Amino acid sequence: AQKVTQAQTEISVVEKEDVTLDCVYETRDTTYYLFWYKQPPSGELVFLIRRNSFDEQNEISGRYSWNFQKSTSSFNFTITASQVVDSAVYFCALSEALIPGANSKLTFGKGITLSVRP
């Protein structure tokens, strides 16, 4: 069975601080995908990143960066120089391989509520 643990429930930072959101996962699959989604107060789910289990390179996209460590089953997300607009709930999710015929449902963590104060 797949499981995603986001141990942090709420984080509050002051604008311009860096913040790291933790994600630990469990799966028996050898090929799998990890995701981060942002859910702003308006409620929609905004896709941020997809990473497959064979690619352990860290990724940076603007102020966002992701650290995937297969040895510790973690996929952490860092926001550098946080802004008020980053305030949202952030979900980490896991799916089996995205191949034809695979169901590939997403298993979500409980989410982390990030509040960025001016």
Partner 1 sequence: EPEVTQTPSHQVTQMGQEVILRCVPISNHLYFYWYRQILGQKVEFLVSFYNNEISEKSEIFDDQFSVERPDGSNFTLKIRSTKLEDSAMYFCASRDRTHEQYFGPGTRLTVT
Contact residues toward partner 1 (CB under 8 A) are: 33, 35, 37, 43-45, 47, 50, 91, 93, 98-100, 103-111
In the bound state with partner 1, the residue whose beta carbon lies nearer, of 83 and 104, is 104
- The Cα 35–Cα 46 span in angstroms is 11
- The Cα 97–Cα 2 span in angstroms is 13
CB of 22 to partner 1, least distance (A): 15
Rg (CA), the chain: 14
CB of 78 to partner 1, least distance (A): 21
Instruction: Tell me the backbone φ, ψ of residue 70, rounded to 5 degrees.
Output: -65, -30
- The Cα 112–Cα 38 span in angstroms is 10
CB of 100 to partner 1, least distance (A): 5
In the bound state with partner 1, the residue whose beta carbon lies nearer, of 48 and 80, is 48
In the bound state with partner 1, the residue whose beta carbon lies nearer, of 80 and 107, is 107
- The Cα 51–Cα 23 span in angstroms is 13
CB of 70 to partner 1, least distance (A): 20
In the bound state with partner 1, the residue whose beta carbon lies nearer, of 10 and 18, is 10
- Which position has the token pair 């509520």? 113
